[in-house]
Amino acid sequence: MSKKVDLAPLLLAWYAQNGRSFPWRFKGDARPDPYVIWVSEIMLQQTTIATGLPYFERWMKTFPDLKTLAQASLDDVLKAWQGLGYYTRAKKLHACAQQVLKMGGFPRDREALLRLPGIGPYTASAIAAFAFHQPTTVVDGNVVRVLSRLYGLTEVVTPEKIYPLAEKLTDKKHPADYASAIMDLGATLCRKTNPLCAQCPWQAYCVACKKGLTASIPCRQKIAKQVVRGAVCVIVNKKNQIFIQQADRKGLLGGLWELPWSKQATWRPMKARWHQCPQPIHHIFTHIDLTLDIYATEAEKVALPGRFISPTDVSKYAFSSLMKKVLSSIGSTPSSVFQSVAKD
């Protein structure tokens, strides 16, 4: 690719015609509320826009500003986040809101943003660019894919590796529009499969397109998932209630409610006559392929921190997607789960 061509204006011209609209996006010189930018950036990590958009809209109704979020209980925050996964992000969002409120508002520069809970290099750059029009470079998965193809990079590329190239290309006078534009290019034209090169403003300069390498670039590193078989335990009382407990706040799913469970197949929370249910639960995390065997028992008292709840009260508590799967397999009559397996 010729180094003399200034590619940013081509991209910005394309963006002016084709850029997508979102409730958190402000084009040109508009200065949006950093709170809106921050929430959208945290929420849309690891989540598609189609999934994240209704969550974002509900969130803004529940927590319309920084103060409301900072003063909410962690339980309410986790409840609003329920279903998005990666609950550590919700906890850090809450902690960050409290810290930023004390500071009197978000800092404008990337380095200060990086010191806040839950804000990593990508999010710090995004807030600095989108909310404060700071000349920072934003590199997400879309940007990695577009630039790997543009420059014909045939090795595995990480955001850190590609940052110097991305920084050179960034339009420092229009950092917000430039960042939105390259992300939109990646999402709409330079797609993972079947990129629409004929419509791309960078087609004439793109190495992968010229050499027919778009199917093999970016080169992906295969990460083998850890396969784990564990156990989840359904404790039912005579009132048809199930025992739940709140996960350790420090852990990955900390603060959420759950049935007692472990990644160890032989683990049980207490001595009892446990009966194995025929259907296990299968759940995929980013790095773990988890199968949980379900064991049921009957007990009126449990010497563990937690409580018995009726199936009709399940919606009042925040559960992870994994636990929702377990609960839905138990259904509205937990005692029948126990009774059906206890007969065997």
Residue ranges in contact with ligand SF4 by CB under 6 A: 146, 149-150, 189-190, 195, 197, 200, 202-203, 206, 208-209, 214
Query: Nearest CA to 219 among 194, 246, 189, 192?
Result: 192
The nearest distance, CB 143 to ligand SF4, in angstroms, is 11
Unique residue bearing structure tokens 């809106």: 36
Q: Is 155 a catalytic residue?
A: no
Sign of the CA dihedral 338, 339, 343, 344? negative
Using the minimum distance from each CB to ligand SF4, give the nearer residue, 198 or 223: 198
Please enumerate in sequence order all residues whose Cβ is within 8 A of that of 338, keeping only pairs 6 or more positions apart, or say none. 234, 236, 275, 296, 297, 298
Distance of CA 148 to the CA centre of its chain: 24
The nearest distance, CB 205 to ligand SF4, in angstroms, is 8
The nearest distance, CB 222 to ligand SF4, in angstroms, is 22
The nearest distance, CB 191 to ligand SF4, in angstroms, is 8
Buried b (16+ CB within 10 A) or exposed e, 213-250: bbeebbeeeeeeeeeeebbbbbbbbeebbbbbbbbeee
Q: Which residues pair with 261 in a beta bridge?
A: 232
41, 167, 258, 300: the active-site residue: 41
The nearest distance, CB 199 to ligand SF4, in angstroms, is 8
Using the minimum distance from each CB to ligand SF4, give the nearer residue, 156 or 284: 156
Rounded CA separation 139/120 (Å)? 12
Using the minimum distance from each CB to ligand SF4, give the nearer residue, 199 or 315: 199
Query: Nearest CA to 229 among 271, 275, 292, 178?
Result: 292
Using the minimum distance from each CB to ligand SF4, give the nearer residue, 114 or 213: 213
Which tokens hold the place of 46?
């690891």
Using the minimum distance from each CB to ligand SF4, give the nearer residue, 149 or 275: 149
- Catalytic residue set: 41
